[in-house]
Amino acid sequence: MTSTDPFADTVLSETPLLPAASVLRPGKSKVSEALRELHAYRELAFFLAWRDIKVRYKQAVLGVSWAVIQPLFTMVIFTILFGRLANLPSDGLPPAVFYLAGLVPWLYFSSTVTNASMSLIGNADMLTKIYFPRVLLPTAVAGENLVDFLIGTVIMALMAVAYGVPIGITWALWPLLMVPLFVLSLGIGMILAALNVRYRDIRYVVPFGIQILLFATPIIYPASLIPDKYQILFALNPLSGLIEGFRYALNPTSMHWDLFAASLATTAAVFFGAWIFFSKSERSFADHV
Amino acid sequence: MSSDIAVHDISKSYRIGGQVNGTLRERIMEWATAPRRAMRASAPSIWALKDVSFGVAAGEVVGIIGRNGAGKSTLLKILSRITQPTAGKMQVRGRMASLLEVGVGFHNELTGRENVYLNGSILGMRKREVDRRFDAIVDFAGVETFLDTQVKHYSSGMRLRLGFAVAAHLDPDILIVDEVLAVGDAGFQKKCLDAMEGLQSGGRTVLFVSHNMAAVENLCSRAIWIDGGKVRLDGQAKDTIRAYMESIAGESAGGTELSDIEHRIGDGAIRFTRVEYLAEDGTPCLLTRCGEPLRLRLHYRAVRTVQHPSFGFRLLTGLGTLVTESYNLLHGTVVDRIAPGVGYIDVHISSLNLLPARYWLSLWITDEAGSHVYDGDVRTVLEVEPANIFASGRLPDARQGIVFFPQVWTQPVSVSDA
């Protein structure tokens, strides 16, 4: 009998639910309160990411193999097309490793931005039925994609070893560089997710934008190929410096530190802007979605 | 922890018309072609809530009643922080959980077990907490044997039970509940009501929105009647419910004017103007009797051409329990288009199998998919009078329930003598 009584359980709970005292005034939200709330809801971000990973890898064969096939096949095509046929330079790295080192972060970026941009409208029922910090939805996507990134990293490392790329201390930069990449992808994903709630055509623009960006970023070519006078323009794309950083981790010979510094600065600016834009728009998500 | 809610002059406006979900391209074109107009662009807005104020003391169980579209849902959404008020402020002391729908975030591909954790987490529970209450949750839902089955294989009833079970094991100071009790089988409804009563005795503050007046009266000491976005009455549950029911009972059977009904929803492209109750021969009937044929003649006026409309009605008991909902498409009658003007559509009911009582008809017209509402929540009374339907001289009455089935009883058949 007692077990069927849902409220017999009187153990004190540490439920976050909602903060002990919350005053809501339209148009006001404090940073500290937002952070406290995020902390209280951190498990939900984890659970949302876990849900998507679970669902994705439930069809185990397709799920895991996709994470392997995607970077591997793209790399093979790039190697043949751009390495062999177009004879683009690969900055002293074996072409296979060169392309993988660009592709693994790139695939993380593109799938995080694409999926995060759909994360709000894809969970409309949650937005209209329950309160939680909305930013958790795109964040969960960025977290979920780390699994693919990890798998891609392992493939790349194996390839690098197989091609005789010397293992060095700079390899440790690889996971560190993940931090700005995560922040950048999430920031752009957040902006697009918020816009997607308001404007129906965003979802068609995103894949197109991603495609353009692939060519505007040193994935299929090294940054050194860009003439000096265009370097400034090039530096506006925060992905450029990050991708160069990922390559530097494997091949610590030359590095465009200025490009890298510009990338970090732009990344921080993008994320800051995204945070403000998202907080401003999230008030009306439930009304529009 | 003590808890309370204070709501001060909360208002919420929604834009109507205009493009709520336009495209970015359209917006850019607007700005490019007519920047001044775009700047001033203020689509007409309606107030879903206007200057709503009330307080709820710790441990109070308050019912919120009112017609569809009166602003109840908006109020709940503001209280549970899903949407923000346009003006006003509110203060909430205590941990709050809102339950506007059970099973939010359930994923079909995941198992029952996985969904319990996911849903618990969405509702604000820690994993440790779910761990601790897991057995009780499963027990409450009665789905032990299907725990490791994907939820997509669950029946809707099982899904619902599991969803409610998770919610029932939240341990908030303040619980906001919307209508979740309106679903599920009778046994489970009872369980939910018991759980709600447990909430009441547990000293929690509960806000409960429902169309089920019996439930509100049972559970709540106080009720707030929201009408047209304002608090119409705030007082003892019994008094508020009575006043509410009386206000919507202003009409009589026979033929009822519908044009002047306020608080209806929909964009008004086509609206109901009148409903007539006719006998099978087409003459107006003064009394609608149980067991007799009835023809509902729904008059409408269309102000513009409407393609593939869907006409429908919901039949509700006096306490607001849904008896049945029906619409033309359900019965295979496809209406191609309605030209601007007036007209009517008939619904032939071969036998009105309702026990005598006062019912509500709530009429609506939507597009084919049911997503766009032209007219809705048009309520009118249907008074069903007793009749000697069984030719037995015994009249059926409302104590026997809501509906009756045509049936024949045989004489007992003796199988063997003692």
Give the pair of three-digit tokens for residue A149: 């990134």
Write down the CATH superfamily of domain B4-246.
Answer: P-loop containing nucleotide triphosphate hydrolases (3.40.50.300)
Query: What's the count of helices (H) and strands (E) in chain B, helices before strands?
Result: 9, 20
Task: Tell me the pLDDT of chain B averaged across its residues.
Answer: 82
d(CA A66, nearest CA chain B) in Å: 19
Residue-range domain boundaries for chain B? 4-246, 255-400
> Which residues lie across from B325 on neighbouring strands?
B314
Token pair 């033309």: residue = B328
Q: Which of A7, A58, A201 minimises the CB distance to B202?
A: A7
Tokens, residue B174: 């303040």
Residue A264: Cβ within 10 Å count? 17
Say if A24 is an interface residue toward chain B (CB within 8 Å): yes
Higher per-residue confidence, B413 vs A19: B413
Q: Looking at the complex, does the CB of residue A287 fall below 8 Å from at least one CB of chain B?
A: yes
Question: What is the model's pLDDT at position A35?
Answer: 83
Residue B336's pLDDT is what? 92
Residue of chain A nearest B178, judged by CA positions: A129
In A, minimum Cα distance to B199 occurs at: A7
Tell me the three state secondary structure of residue B273. strand
B82·A54 Cβ contact <8 A = no
pLDDT greater than 60 at residue B254? no
Chain B contact present for A7, CB below 8 A: yes
Q: How far is CA B353 from the centre of its chain?
A: 23
Q: Is B275 strand, coil or helix? A: strand
**Chain B, window 3-62: residues with a beta carbon less than 8 angstroms from a chain A beta carbon:** 14, 20-25, 27
Instruction: Give the pLDDT mean for A164-191.
Output: 93
- From chain A, the residues in CB contact with B96 under 8 A are 17-18
**Residue B193, pLDDT above cutoff 80:** no
Express each pLDDT in A105-139 by its tens digit: 999 999 999 999 999 999 988 888 888 899 999 99
**Using a CB-CB distance cutoff of 8 angstroms, which residues of chain A are in contact with residue B118?**
47-48, 50-51
Of B260 and B111, more confident: B111
The verdict on B136 touching A (C-beta cutoff 8 Å) is yes
* pLDDT attached to residue A256: 77
Neighbours of B89 (CB within 10 A): 15
Q: Indicate yes or no: CB of B85 within 8 angstroms of CB of A24.
A: yes
Per-residue confidence (pLDDT) for residue A6, from 0 to 100: 32
pLDDT band at A26 (very low <50, low <70, confident <90, very high): very low
Q: Of B82, B84, B199, which is closest to A7 when you measure between CB atoms?
A: B199
pLDDT band at residue A282 using 50, 70 and 90 as cut-offs: confident
Q: Encoding tokens for residue A250?
A: 């494997």
- In this prediction, residue A165 has a pLDDT band, given cuts at 50, 70 and 90, of confident
pLDDT surpasses 70 at B287: no
Chain A's closest residue to B23, CA to CA, is A199
- Is residue B67 within 8 A of residue B90, CB to CB? The reply is no
Residue B375 phi/psi, 5-degree rounding, is -150, 145
Per-residue pLDDT, averaged over B156-168, amounts to: 83
* A130 interfacial to chain B (CB closer than 8 Å): yes
Residues B93-119, mean pLDDT to the nearest whole number: 85
Task: Give me the residue from A7, A14, A288 closest to B126, CB to CB.
Answer: A14
Instruction: Give the one of B92, B171, B198 whose C-beta lies nearest to A15's C-beta.
Output: B171
- Rounded mean pLDDT, B64-77: 81
pLDDT at site B92: 84
> For the segment A200-211, what is each residue's pLDDT rounded down to a tens digit?
788 899 999 999
Please provide the size of chain A in residues: 289
Same topology between domain B4-246 and domain B255-400: no
Question: Over the stretch B15-49, which tens digit does the pLDDT of each residue have?
Answer: 654 445 577 777 777 777 766 665 555 556 778 89
Q: How far is B77 from chain A (nearest CA, A)?
A: 8
Q: Do A54 and B114 touch (CB under 8 A)?
A: yes
Contacting residues for B90 by C-beta, under 8 A, at least 6 apart:
A23, A24, B5, B6, B7, B8, B10, B78, B79
Of all residues in chain A, what percent carry a pLDDT higher than 70?
Answer: 88
Average pLDDT rounded to a whole number, residues B298-324: 90
Domain B255-400 in this protein, CATH class: mainly beta
Under 8 Å CB pairs connecting chains A and B tally to: 169
Contact B95, B10 (CB under 8 A): no
Q: What are phi and psi of B184, to 5 degrees?
A: 90, 165
Residue with structure tokens 């970077």?
A: A71
Buried b / exposed e along A31-66 (16+ C-beta atoms within 10 A): eeeeeebeebbebbbbbbbbbbbbbbeeeeeebeee
CA pair distance A71, A46, nearest whole angstrom = 25
The span from the CA of B178 to the CA of B211, in Å, is 10
Residue B179: per-residue pLDDT: 64
Residues 6+ apart with CB under 8 A from B194: none
Calculate mean pLDDT across residues A161-166: 90
pLDDT in tens, B130-147: 999 999 999 888 888 899
> CA angle, B312 as apex, B306 and B317 as ends, to 5°?
150
Considering all CA atoms of chain A, what is the largest pairwise distance in Å, rounded to the nearest integer? 79
Chain A touched by B200 (CB under 8 Å): no
Q: What is the pTM of this model?
A: 0.70
Average pLDDT over every residue of B247-269: 71
Tokens 């119409």: give the residue: B232
